[in-house]
Amino acid sequence: MLTMSMLPAQTHGQNAKVTVNRNNVTLKTILNDIESQTNYLFIYGKDIDVNRVVDVTSMQQPTSSLLSKLFEGTDISYTLCGNHIALKTESKGRTSIGTQQRDDTKTIKGRVFDSTGEPLVGVAISIEGTNRMTTTDIDGNYSIKAAEGETIKLTYIGFNPYHQEIGKGNSYNIRMQEDTKTLDEVVVVGYGTMKKADLTGGVVNVGEKDLNRVASFNLIDKVASQIPGLNITTGNAAPGVDQSILIRGQNSLTADNAPLVVLDGIPYNGSLADIDPNTIESISVLKDASAAAIYGSRGSNGIILIQSKKGRIGAPRVSYRGEFSISEPQHRVNVMSPEKYIKFKQDIARLQDGWEGEQLRPENILSASELTNYYQGITNDWQNIIFRTAASHDHQISLSGGTEQTTYNAALAYLNQQGVVFNSRMERYNLDLSVTQVLNKWLTIGVNTKYIQKQTGGITPNIEHAVKQSPYGIFKEENGNYYEEPMDQSLIRNPMVDVNADQDNTSRNLIINSYADIVLPIKGLSFRTNFGYNNRTIFTGTYYGRDTFTGKSVSGKASVNNTHYYDYTWENILKYNRTFGKHMIDLTGLFSLQKTSSNKSGGSAESFINDDSSFHNLSAGEKNKTVTSSLRETQMLSYMFRANYNFANRYLLTLTGRTDGYSAFGKNNKYAFFPSVALGWNIHQESFMANTHDWLDQIKLRVSYGSNGNQAISPYQTLDRLHIGTYVWGDNGSTANAVYLPNDGAGNPNLKWETTHTFNVGVDFSFLNGRIYGSIDTYVSNTKDLLMKRTVPIMNGYSTIMDNIGRTRNKGIEISLNTVNMKNNDLEWRTGINFSLNRDKIIDVRGDKKDDITNKWFVGKPIQVYYDYKVVDIWQEGDTYTKTDSNGNTVQIQKGAKPGSAKLQDTNGDGVINSNDKVIIGSKQPSFRMAMSNELTWRNFYFSCLLNGTFKVTRELNEANIGSWAYNLYNYLEDADYWTPENTDSKYCSPVYSNFDGHSFYHNFTYIQIKNMTIGYNLEHSLIKRMHLQKASVNLSVNNVWTFCDIHSVLNYDNSWFASYPTARSYVLGINLTF
């Protein structure tokens, strides 16, 4: 489709040639056709009857002759004015002649911008009631004659018309607001683009404007909370680490649930953290079966389509974007003060070992190394040591422009991001270049390339060790080295012990997507071939020198690892697009090949003569030398067919079928077929809805059903694999290979696809001229033949094996609602609300409707649950601890229970606590998620705020599990309310309680985050002019402002482990300049 709109551009001029072949359609349709094939925009008033039905046949005719033919015998005339074609009726023209002759006119000058301060080029400006008209130039300037009292009218595609009454002044700068009715928005779908109004599937698009709402160095952060059903989890908030993305919950038990990412049309297997978000124009998310079905075997987890910015016709334009940020941990874990810590240890000693009186002296309680500081009164705040306020900056310079034949966009970016944990960092260079060349009327070629160099590295301190470290722990030795064991033999070392290690982690990523569009000599037929190539190398070198804990004992330890990865995708697409009267058909056929190959090698050694060579001279290591190499390859071969049919823009039909073959499946199961069907009904287009047009803009019903696959497993799982390890023979002997069948080494030759069938019903709506719009989608998806890593009795000779078994179901509802609460020329306030609710459950595991307790898979329950004992109370002195069983023996009700132990629920009521009393505690997936954005624009200022909430997700409550947290040794929470004989009415159990049967503690988390607040200002035109700029804006953003939750002992709420890399609050100053 891109091809079709591209081609005529080369024949632009006074007489751009167009091809229109329609019968019995409205005039409006024809005008749209011409607009889409040329750079022309039509301007007309209400007096032009665009709903008049016409027939047109034009094959490569100049626009002018087509128009002449079109308006033959009517009172409509047209005028070419720059890129605009103005239509007017003779009668109007005539009446206006009278006023045109006024002599009190003066020259009105000014400039026209969009809401961000970007000058608008080619805005049609007319004086109402006259035929005086003009357009804005490339800087957005205009000049027109008008008299006081007359009204200037501005029209521009995609913007609301603007009226300005002429007063005494001669200069009017005008800010036009974008049209919120986005029905004409073109959305990128798989293997093409479609008008949003013509979509039948569940597709959500985030454009450049929405992407720019949040200031972040990370692309995915920018779409977080903007798409219902797209759930982004930042489990590791360190710079350069990818988030995990889930579309509409989880279908698969074992196989990857991450969506397929398609970058500029080619599947992308790399890190999204590599991409410079400033080079991205839009992101589309395909959620339902129909939309995703064209990606067949890889579609069941949804698709994310990312489009890079392309060059636009026009003079070269240079822009600079800069971001400067300061970040800090959003909050910290409030651990015990030194006094509380000693009291805590005393409580443990008397409860655990029965110490009393003098035995509880700090001399006996604290370890020898802690005592050193204790005697001197030195204490340390370990979180202060490992966390920091970090400064980052990001710069991008881009150059864009083009002619009718050649368009280009180039960008160079540099990011230096420092993390809030000591030593965490990312330095990233991005180079982007895209060129499109129209060679002749049937051939257009183009290439998009990206080159990324990303450096991270540096050993970061152990966060858990910092949180749990003794306040009396010694930080550094007298010689300045980090003191290794501040708590002595505790396994909780000085968090900084290894930070002096050298580490370089550099990845270089080259992405080349090239394509050729060919118009074939059969009317409506075109061909496109795409070749995408991605080459990544990752080098990691680490050296633990003698100044690190790890390196000290072995006289230095070095390792290097290299990954050479490449993939290619070759796609051949045949398209046929014709309109026969009210019937539009659009056919797409595809053949594609894909290959991925990952070649890794590495080495390590210990015992170096000195630390000088770092990891650059592995051969100098004397001991424990290892070398590794590996190769993993996958191949995929696909055929796809899609048919879109559109009747009078009212009834839409999409049929898709795709066949995929994948190398990682068993010999007889390589291929699978995935069909889908989707229907759309533009109800508002029906004649019986005609009288609703004053309040209803759009109401569309979408229904789709189809199947998608999941092949996201590691290769070679169909084959038996041996593990290779080492053994040593004799004293000072040599290392020998030692192979054996590992517990997961048995292959399953029958492995095949996992298939998901999804039924989706959606409604798109827009009311009151775009003041309220949105969509509602509901879906049910059934997945069968799940690819599962299945636990089987180890007596088989293996304990885990990949297998296709079981069925799951997801159902859910997604609502997106946008309102324009207030709107006038100066002020606009918009609110967007996203809601998504997904319920997953296991329908069957092994075909017998029985639970699989080993894997914690329960029929009729969510896919990921916690299954454990339920803590109901705390055992107290005086409780009944034993009972007499049927044989008259005295048995303990809960083995090992003492006062202060957690009292577990006797679920089956047999009076004894054992495995049969375990219950499903809750789902690991949240009940629902909600996000709300508010945007306020007032003249040159704008303000936005983004909130998101995760509701009712069950997680382990680390802080309640004192045994596992404090281990009878470590520092714990300052405000901890734990059990002691003196504090029996406590929130948590005794610190020396050893968890019965290893059970854990759980909590139902609900947390609401203020993700982002931004205030921005677009500089006044007059100021910009003086600075010789086209456009300038500044903004200030605060990311991750605050998290509201009833639990505070968590550093990152997206991670179930309390001591994960903390969520950073960052203050970002952004500057955008266009020259």
Partner 1 sequence: MKKIHIISAFIALFSITAVSCSDYLDEKLKSELAPDNTYTSSYGFETGSAGMYAIARAEYNTWGSTAFMHSAACPYESQQIATDLAIMGTKDGSIQPFGYCTLTSNTGIVTSTWKWAYSLIAAANEVLAYAEKNTNWDKPTDQATYIAEARFFRAYAYRTLVYLYGDVPYVDKIQETIHTDFTRTPKAEVIQHMLDDLNYASEHLPVDPDNVPKVGKLTKWAAEHLLSEVYLMNGDNANAEKSALNVINSGYFRLMSDRFGVEKNKPGDVFADLFKEYNQNRTSGNMESIWVMQFEYQTKGGGDAYDDWTRRAWEPKYFEIQGFTLADTLGGRGLCQLVPLKWWIGDDAGFFDATDIRNSEYNIKRHWYYNNPKTPNMLGKRCEITDETWFTTYRLYPALVKFFYGKADNLTYTGTNRDRMKFRLAETYLLLAEARFNKGDMSGAAEALNVVRRRAHASEITSGQMTIDVILDERIRELVGEESRRFTLCRTGKLLERCRKYNTEAGPLIQDYNVLWPIPQEVIDSNTGTTFSQNFGY
Question: What is the footprint of partner 1 within residues 7-46 (CB under 8 A)?
Answer: none
Q: Binding segment for partner 1 among 22-30, 303-311, 546-554, 696-704 (CB under 8 A)?
A: 546-554
Cβ proximity to partner 1, 560 vs 1038, nearer residue: 560
CA 955 from chain centre, in angstroms, equals 23
Q: Binding segment for partner 1 among 47-55, 355-363, 649-657, 807-815 (CB under 8 A)?
A: 355-363
Cβ neighbours around 493 below 10 Å, total? 20
Contact letters for partner 1, residues 914-943 (x by CB under 8 A)? xx----------------------------
Cβ neighbours around 59 below 10 Å, total? 10
CB of 347 to partner 1, least distance (A): 16
CB of 465 to partner 1, least distance (A): 15
CB of 343 to partner 1, least distance (A): 19
Could you tell me the two tokens for 706? 């189809």
CB proximity list for 613: less than 8 A, separation 6 or greater: 620
Cβ proximity to partner 1, 624 vs 825, nearer residue: 624
CB of 481 to partner 1, least distance (A): 14
User: C-alpha angle 560/562/564, rounded to 5°?
Assistant: 180
Cβ proximity to partner 1, 23 vs 352, nearer residue: 352
d(Cα 306, Cα 683) in Å, to the nearest integer? Answer: 31
> Residue 619, interface with partner 1 (CB under 8 A)?
no
Could you tell me the two tokens for 622? 């004397």
CB of 728 to partner 1, least distance (A): 4
CB of 797 to partner 1, least distance (A): 3
Binding residue for partner 1, selected from 39, 506, 537, 607, defined by CB under 8 A: 607
CB of 885 to partner 1, least distance (A): 11
CA separation, residue 563 to residues 606, 628, 630, 734, 933 (Å): 22, 11, 9, 29, 41
> Residue 352, interface with partner 1 (CB under 8 A)?
yes
Interacting positions 723-752 with partner 1 (CB under 8 A): 723-733, 735-743, 746
> Residue 791, interface with partner 1 (CB under 8 A)?
yes
d(Cα 714, Cα 709) in Å, to the nearest integer? Answer: 15
CB of 1000 to partner 1, least distance (A): 12
Instruction: Report yes or no: 806 and 243 within 8 Å, Cβ to Cβ.
Output: no
Cβ proximity to partner 1, 535 vs 1000, nearer residue: 1000
CB of 553 to partner 1, least distance (A): 3
> Residue 362, interface with partner 1 (CB under 8 A)?
no
Cβ proximity to partner 1, 525 vs 703, nearer residue: 525
d(Cα 1017, Cα 1012) in Å, to the nearest integer? Answer: 17
CB of 731 to partner 1, least distance (A): 5
Dump the DSSP string for 852-896.
BTTTTB-BTS-SSEEEEPPEEEE--TT---EEE-TTS-EEESSTT
> Residue 968, interface with partner 1 (CB under 8 A)?
yes
Cβ proximity to partner 1, 14 vs 887, nearer residue: 887
d(Cα 796, Cα 784) in Å, to the nearest integer? Answer: 25
Cβ proximity to partner 1, 490 vs 836, nearer residue: 490
d(Cα 941, Cα 1033) in Å, to the nearest integer? Answer: 10
CB of 908 to partner 1, least distance (A): 15
Binding residue for partner 1, selected from 393, 508, 564, 632, defined by CB under 8 A: 632
State the number of CA atoms in the 13 A half-sphere of 400 facing the CB. Answer: 18
Cβ proximity to partner 1, 97 vs 891, nearer residue: 891
Interacting positions 883-912 with partner 1 (CB under 8 A): 895-896
Binding residue for partner 1, selected from 29, 300, 367, 1037, defined by CB under 8 A: 367
> Residue 364, interface with partner 1 (CB under 8 A)?
yes
CB of 735 to partner 1, least distance (A): 4
> Residue 353, interface with partner 1 (CB under 8 A)?
yes
> Residue 795, interface with partner 1 (CB under 8 A)?
yes
Cβ proximity to partner 1, 653 vs 792, nearer residue: 792
CB of 795 to partner 1, least distance (A): 5
CB of 922 to partner 1, least distance (A): 20
Binding residue for partner 1, selected from 75, 185, 633, 1020, defined by CB under 8 A: 633
506: left (phi over 0), alpha (psi -120 to 50) or beta: beta
> Residue 593, interface with partner 1 (CB under 8 A)?
yes
> Residue 376, interface with partner 1 (CB under 8 A)?
no
Q: Binding segment for partner 1 among 46-54, 65-73, 903-911, 960-968 (CB under 8 A)?
A: 960-968
Contact letters for partner 1, residues 839-868 (x by CB under 8 A)? -------x-x-x-xxx--------------
CA separation, residue 122 to residues 41, 140, 145 (Å): 9, 7, 17
Dump the DSSP string for 791-854.
E--GGGS-SEEEEE--EEEEEEEEEEEEEEEEESSSEEEEEEEEEEEEEEEEEESSSS---BTT
3-class DSSP state of 924? coil
> Residue 488, interface with partner 1 (CB under 8 A)?
yes
Dump the DSSP string for 292-318.
HHTTGGG-TT-EEEEEE----SEEEEE
Interacting positions 92-121 with partner 1 (CB under 8 A): none
Binding residue for partner 1, selected from 967, 1042, 1067, 1075, defined by CB under 8 A: 967
Could you tell me the two tokens for 449? 């390339």
Binding residue for partner 1, selected from 715, 813, 823, 928, defined by CB under 8 A: 715
Could you tell me the two tokens for 791? 């636990």
Cβ proximity to partner 1, 495 vs 1062, nearer residue: 495
CB of 500 to partner 1, least distance (A): 17
Interacting positions 659-688 with partner 1 (CB under 8 A): 661-664, 670
CA 139, 145, 149, 151 dihedral sign is negative
Cβ proximity to partner 1, 805 vs 1010, nearer residue: 805
CA separation, residue 513 to residues 184, 280, 565, 877 (Å): 28, 15, 16, 72
> Residue 609, interface with partner 1 (CB under 8 A)?
no
Interface with partner 1: number of residues (CB under 8 A)? 103
Contact letters for partner 1, residues 998-1027 (x by CB under 8 A)? x-----------------------------
Q: Binding segment for partner 1 among 132-140, 188-196, 620-628, 690-698 (CB under 8 A)?
A: 620-628
> Residue 363, interface with partner 1 (CB under 8 A)?
yes
Strand partners, 703: 679, 761
Q: Name the pairing type of β-strands 260-263 and 303-308.
A: parallel
CB of 559 to partner 1, least distance (A): 13
CB of 657 to partner 1, least distance (A): 17
The dihedral over CA atoms of 815, 818, 821, 823, expressed in degrees to the nearest 10, equals: -170
Interacting positions 755-774 with partner 1 (CB under 8 A): none
DSSP state of 1033: E
Binding residue for partner 1, selected from 527, 531, 576, 1057, defined by CB under 8 A: 527
Instruction: Report yes or no: 656 and 293 within 8 Å, Cβ to Cβ.
Output: yes
Please choose, from the candidates 454, 455, 451, the residue with its C-alpha nearest in 3D space to the C-alpha of residue 411: 451
Residues of 753-769 as b/e, b for ≥16 C-beta within 10 angstroms? bbbbbbbbbbebbbbeb
3-class DSSP state of 353? coil
Residue length of the chain: 1075
Please choose, from the candidates 159, 206, 130, the residue with its C-alpha nearest in 3D space to the C-alpha of residue 946: 206
